[in-house]
């Protein structure tokens, strides 16, 4: 089993900023102007898989 977070969205994606986490890791900020997608049935969806019984 792999641990993951999946975000499914529809709309234009814009890069907003470079960042830094604890002085060692690079981060990026992205902005999605989410639009309703009839196939997805929503403007966005988030799925999480891990080994915990609750979040």
The tens digit of pLDDT for each residue in 1-55 reads 678 888 888 888 898 889 888 888 889 898 888 888 787 788 888 888 888 777 6
User: How distant is the alpha carbon of residue 4 from its chain centre?
Assistant: 10
Report the pLDDT value the prediction gives residue 55, as an integer from 0 to 100: 61
Report the pLDDT value the prediction gives residue 1, as an integer from 0 to 100: 66
Domain boundaries, the chain: 4-49
Kindly report whether the global pTM for this prediction surpasses the value 0.85.
no
């Amino acid at each position: 089993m792999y641990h993951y977070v999946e975000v499914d969205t529809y709309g234009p994606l814009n890069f907003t900023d470079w960042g830094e986490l604890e002085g060692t890791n690079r981060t990026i900020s992205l902005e999605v102007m989410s639009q309703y997608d009839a196939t997805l049935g929503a403007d966005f969806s988030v799925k999480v898989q891990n080994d915990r019984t609750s979040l």
